[in-house]
Every structure is written in structure tokens, then in C-alpha cells.
Chain A
Amino acid sequence: MSEQATPDTAPAPAAAPAAAPAPAPDPAEIALREEVARILGGTATPDDAAGVPAWRVTAAGLSEAARRLRAAGFDYLLFMTAVDRPAEARFELVYLLTRYDDGRQLALVADVPREAPEIDTVSGIWAGANWHERETYDMFGIVFRGHPFLRRILLDEDWPGHPLRKDYVDTLHDVVKRPY
């Protein structure tokens, strides 16, 4: 895990998920970073954000990176979701990959433009991605090319808009803002 304290934090965020006090670099994490760098090669660049180790790929290169990671033993897609970054006019898609045998985790991050958000599906690689991608489509409006059944999953078919977008405004359903 990255040990850099970002300017916004209080001193030294703890590193390991078991709440270890000393932020010493975890040798298992270093080994994971080396292994993933070897698997992905030049197709991905490591992302230096704090928290879960992450690698960035282009939207076009996502399927290849996903295929390589799956072949290397990352058989457990924990989830797949999107983060809306309207200031940078993009959606950041996050694929949280891990392994059943040792639980090591990494995030595969891809950007799609906000105006025409489209990316290839990975539901052929992990069957669980089918429903996760439907949910991401439902909440954000991102289209997954090649998805066998891309429809809304949580909201009604005729729901207007995509609620998790930051610019979602709901005039029909009486949304009350928190006053405190």
C-alpha cells in the first residue's frame, strides 16, 4: 500500500487492513505490486492514490488487462463500479479484483468520457460482472458493449436519469435535502 500522506490527511494513515499501528511497507504488498506489474506489463500504469493498490488502463485496454489478470489467478471480481468526476469530465470505472486463495486485492481503474461513456464488457471473463455492469449502467448510464442483457436492474425501466451522477436532479420523487 502507498504510504504517502496526502495533504488533506491527519498524520500517517494506517496501512494494513488489520489496523496495524506502524505504517511499515508490507512485504506482501510489495510482492503483489511486482507480480501485477509483471502480469500487466506496459498496458497499465500504477496509480499512486492512497489505499488499495491500483493500476490505470485505457478504456480500450481494459479487456486485455482483465484477461491477463484472470489468467494469472485473479478469479474473484469483488465488485465493479464507477466514480463520477464531473470536474474532469470523466467517469472512473473501478474493478476490484482479488483472489479466492489469498485474498490479495487490487483495483483496475479505467476512465471513460462523461459525454459518451462506453466500454467493453468483462462479463465473459467473470460471470459476476454481468449484474455489476447492469447496476453501473442503471446508476450512471455507462454503456457496456457486448453485454448480453444490458437493462436497468434496480430501478424501473422508465426511470428518468441516472441517480448516482453528481448532476442528477430529481423533480418527480420529492427528494428532501438534509438540512444539517
Chain B
Amino acid sequence: MLPTLGEKGRDAASAYEDYFVNMGPQHPSTHGVLRLVLKLAGETVLGLTPVIGYVHRGIEKMGEAMSVVQFTHLTDRLDYLSAHMNNWAWSLAVEQALGVEVPARAEHIRVIMAELTRISSHQLWWGVLGMDLGAFTPFLYGFRDRERVNDIFEKTCGARLTMNYIRPGGVTQDVEEDFAKDVRAFCDYFEPVIDEYETLVGGNVIFQERTKGIGVLSPELARSLGCTGPTARASGVDYDVRRNRPYGIYPQLAFTVPVLPGGDCWARYLVRIAEMRESLKIIRQALDTMPDGPVRAKLPAALNVPKGRWLGRAEAARGEIAFFLEGNGTAKPWRLKVRSPNFSNLAALPEIAKGNRVADIVAILSTLDVVIPCIDR
């Protein structure tokens, strides 16, 4: 445990003038273009203000100028590491609005793709966490394994990163013949590798010292801010959209939701590692029960969004993503709002970084796992 700034230290700090330092927007460990205004007393953070908006692209305004199916390609580019889940949440909103039922085979494919994306996102998170804390090797291992998932995506969806595969009505095209074989091979390969991840990074004493007890997020603050995903589950908030408000075929699948009470960086780390294992379970179950059939339902010819408030919610890799769609009877939405999980998670950073050192901010930000384009939209 690192010594925290005790009473004596605080008095010494107050003898000096507080000063402000900018961290970002160009910084190796701010996970994108995020600027943090730090109020420091020496190395200790007295306060922190995130400044966002450096990659605000106006996606919500753009959505008012295109049809609901055309908008799907922009949903990938929000939190691009959970691209399939963003597509899915948007498809849920549109399917509610247009009254479309998704065929069963498409539901199974959606679940497999979403869980593969969750694993791939956590692989990248794990690699970048190691890199942020000073170890470059986890980055290489994480990307090596992530490339295998990218190969599966490339064979089926045609793209590695912004796939635009899950669309309102189902998925764009059926999976190819080797899909089940490839996915099972990946699951069999990756299951022991998670143990390797745990030994390599989690078993390292320096890593444990840098993450245990750092950046504690209380469950009350997490609920009040609307934090979701592994960040909230590591603070004891037992909420997962897949279980609390299920969609797709999740009600038929058996999986546990890892929840830990600690709230520190170490708990957030453990929750994500456990989630990777749960995702492998879900993928195997979905593959075993996958039926045959069509993969895309027919949408009405005129994609008029009826008047009303439509909300599609899904569990992205970082929390709950939701799309709020308000129509006025024409093909273009009247208002389209993206509820970003990272927006609410980052709002916790000012509170939980206080009292820690500058180097701990990197650990906290890395375990909060924020993707800035999702915050900025």
C-alpha cells in the first residue's frame, strides 16, 4: 500500500501555492483526446477537471438528416471497441419503432458477435492497462489475441473494426461455413490464455501495489452518477443490462455477472478478467443452440419513424449504451440522443482521483476504461 498524504503532508502542501497542470489532450495515456486540468500540490492531486469535446463530431445532429438505417454506420464510430453492441442498441430502438421482429438465427449471431466484441475490447483494455503502467509486453500479447477475433470479424462481417453488421431487422448477411469452427477454435485457444493474463499482469506485485486501494468509487456515487458496466460492478452495483433488462436471447443463456465490492482499480481489473470468461461461456451456448433460418427481417419500404419516444438499451463493453429516438412520422428522426456509458463513467473521475498521485491518475483512467469518441459523440 502506498502511503497516502497524511495530516502532516497536507500542512506541508498548504505552505506551497497550488498550481494547475494540463494533462492532454495529446498525452500517451489519456486514451484519446481528453484533457485533464489537474490541481496539484507536488505530486498529489487536489482536484481534477476533465475537459472533453476534442472529438465532438455532431453525430446527434447528423442523425437528424439521414434515415434510421443509414445512421447505423455512425453508431460503430462512437465506442468503436464495442461496435457490434452499439449497432445492436440502435437496432433495438429502430425495431421497436418500426415494429420489426428479428429472426432467431440473427439473434444468436448477434449475441456471438457482441460477446466476441466484449472479449476483444477487454483484450485491448488489458494490453493498454499494462502499457499505461509501464509494461509494454501485455500490449503485444493483448493485440496478438485480439487479431484472432479480428480475423473472425473480417471473414464474416467484412471489416475488422467498424463492422456495421448488426442492422435493424437482423444482421446483414449470414455467417460463412467455417464460422462455428473458427469461433470454437478461438474459444478453446483463449480460455487458458486468460489464466496467462492473470499470472502475467495480475500476479505481478508491482501491478498489485499500483492498483489496490487506488481510486475507490463508492457504490452511492456510482449510482448517483449513472455509472454502469464493469466500473460500477466493481463497486458493488449489481447491474447488467443483459440480466436486469434482457434483450435478444440473453434470457435463455446461463451466465453469471461478476460483481465485486472493493471499488478500487484492482476490483475493476478482476471484474473485466472474469467477464472475459463469462463471455466465452455465452458464446459456446449460443453456438450450440443456433437454429437455421433467415438472418434479416424485411423492413417496411418507407422507414417512417412513428411519433413517440423509442429507447434501445444494450450492455456495451463499458456500460449501458442507449439510443433515444423520437420520430415525427417522417423517414428522418426528429431527435436522436446517444446515451454514452463512458460519459457517465468519466464523471466519476474528479471525485475518485482526489488524494492520489499523478501516476495513479493513469491507473485510474486506465481501469475506468473510457473511450473518448463515445463521450464526445
Contacts and interface: CB of A to CB of B under 8 A. Distances in A.
A6 B329 contact: yes
Interface residues on B, range: 35 or more
Interface stretch (B121-129, B153-161, B201-209, B331-339): B331-339
A14 B96 contact: yes
B310 A6 contact: no
A83 interface: yes
Contacts of A21: 101
A126 B226 contact: yes
Nearest to B49: A149
Contacts of A100: 223, 237-239, 244
B18 interface: no
A6 B306 contact: yes
A11 B99 contact: yes
A71 interface: no
B306 A8 contact: yes
Interface residues on A, range: 35 or more
A10 B65 CA distance: 22
Contacts of A177: 65
Contacts of B247: 17-19
A166 to B, nearest CB: 8
A96 B60 contact: no
Interface stretch (B51-59, B111-119, B131-139): B51-59
A107 B337 CA distance: 14
B289 to A, nearest CB: 17
Interface in B311-331: 311-313, 320, 322, 324, 326, 329
A18 B248 contact: yes
Contacts, number: 145
Contacts of B337: 79, 81
A107 to B, nearest CB: 6
Contacts of B313: 17, 78, 105
Main secondary structure of the interface of A (DSSP, over half): loop
A128 B225 contact: yes
B238 to A, nearest CB: 8
B308 interface: yes
Contacts of A131: 343-344, 347
Contacts of B335: 81, 83-84
Interface in A99-123: 100-103, 105, 107
Contacts of B66: 178
B95 interface: yes
A75 B347 CA distance: 16
A149 to B, nearest CB: 9
Of residues A17, A102, A139, which shows the largest number of chain B Cβ atoms within 10 Å of its Cβ?
A17
Contacts of A24: none
Nearest to B340: A79
Given A18-B248, A100-B237, A103-B244, A154 B56 contact: yes
B347 A130 contact: yes
Interface string B52-75: 110010101100011000000000
B309 A18 contact: no
Interface of A: 2, 6, 8-14, 17-19, 21, 49-52, 54, 75-79, 81, 83-84, 94, 96, 100-103, 105, 107, 126-128, 130-131, 139, 152-156, 163-164, 177-178
6 contacts: A10-B99, A17-B313, A50-B310, A154-B53, A156-B53, A163-B61
Given A79-B339, A83-B326, A178-B65, 11 more contacts: A13-B98, A17-B245, A18-B248, A50-B310, A51-B96, A96-B324, A96-B339, A100-B239, A105-B311, A154-B56, A155-B56
Closest 8 CB pairs of A and B: A50-B308, A103-B245, A8-B329, A51-B308, A128-B226, A13-B99, A154-B53, A9-B306
